[in-house]
Amino acid sequence: MVNITEIRPGNAFEYDGNIYSCLNIDLNKTAMAKMKVKVKSRNIRTGAIVDLGFIGGDKVEILHLDKRAMQYLYDDGSGYVFMDQESYDQLSIPHEALEWEKNFLVPESVVQVTMYQGEIVGVELPAKVVLTITEAEPAVRGDTVNRALRDAICETGLKVRVPLFVEEGTKILVKTDTGEYDSRA
């Protein structure tokens, strides 16, 4: 257990049975009152960002999360199967746990899987992934004063707005935080 004032951005800690990652910490000490500590943090299990309030003497437990590079293999029907890059162990993550991430999972892609005491608490995707366009609306000439975009569907089922010159079969880079087109690959 450590004093809350010793937490730094990037540290993982446990509070009220939840696991949080510190994003920012703000210390406020006045002459007449105890130190107030405001910790902006992300709930690692749900992904929600919350502001937690503490008093200067409060204690929390710093946790050590295990991050492993794992390769996505296939969808087994009930979950996504990943293989550890070092030990070659395979594990399955349920579909419900990867609602957003599934849009960017293509076979043989490598992601960081975060674990705490054997429990999978998150999957970190790379900043950008390469996806292939499988369907694209026909290009319509005309409105080229502004950036002309059309809808396209990637191999994972993700719907993306792409420029008119992107055709079916083209490999593109997609930002994993927003799901937007970045460039051709």
Strand partners, 154: 133
| 132 and 151 housed in the same domain | yes
On the 0-12 / 13-18 / 19+ scale of CB atoms within 10 A, 6 is exposed
Q: Which two tokens stand for residue 62?
A: 């710093």
> What rounded mean pLDDT belongs to the chain?
88
**What average pLDDT does this structure show over 30-35?**
84
pTM of this structure:
0.73
**What average pLDDT does this structure show over 65-75?**
91
DSSP 129-150: EEEEEEEEPPP--S--SS--EE
| 6 and 59 housed in the same domain | yes
| 11 and 59 housed in the same domain | yes
Structural domains counted in the chain: 3
| 176 and 143 housed in the same domain | yes
CB atoms within 10 A of CB 131: 24
| 178 and 134 housed in the same domain | yes
| 59 and 70 housed in the same domain | no
| 105 and 142 housed in the same domain | no
CB atoms within 10 A of CB 175: 15
Q: The CATH number of the domain where 25 resides is what?
A: 2.30.30.30
CB atoms within 10 A of CB 173: 14
Q: How far apart are CA 14 and CA 21, in angstroms?
A: 9
| 12 and 59 housed in the same domain | yes
Structural domain of residue 96, as residue ranges? 66-124
**What average pLDDT does this structure show over 31-57?**
88
What's the pLDDT at 143?
Answer: 58
| 52 and 75 housed in the same domain | no
**What average pLDDT does this structure show over 40-54?**
88
| 80 and 114 housed in the same domain | yes
**What average pLDDT does this structure show over 53-73?**
90
Domain edge (last residue) among 38, 63, 88? 63
Domain edge (last residue) among 25, 42, 63? 63
What's the pLDDT at 142?
Answer: 65
CB atoms within 10 A of CB 141: 7
pLDDT tens by residue, 138-182:
877 665 666 788 889 999 999 999 988 888 899 999 999 888 998
Domain edge (last residue) among 107, 124, 141? 124
Helix-then-strand count for the chain, H and E: 0, 16
Q: The CATH number of the domain where 72 resides is what?
A: 2.40.50.140
Percentage with pLDDT > 70 across the chain:
96
pLDDT tens by residue, 80-139:
999 998 899 999 988 888 888 889 999 999 999 988 888 888 888 899 999 999 998 887
Determine the Cα angle at 110 with ends 104 and 113, to 5°. 90
| 7 and 57 housed in the same domain | yes
Query: Hey, what amino acid is at 174?
Result: V
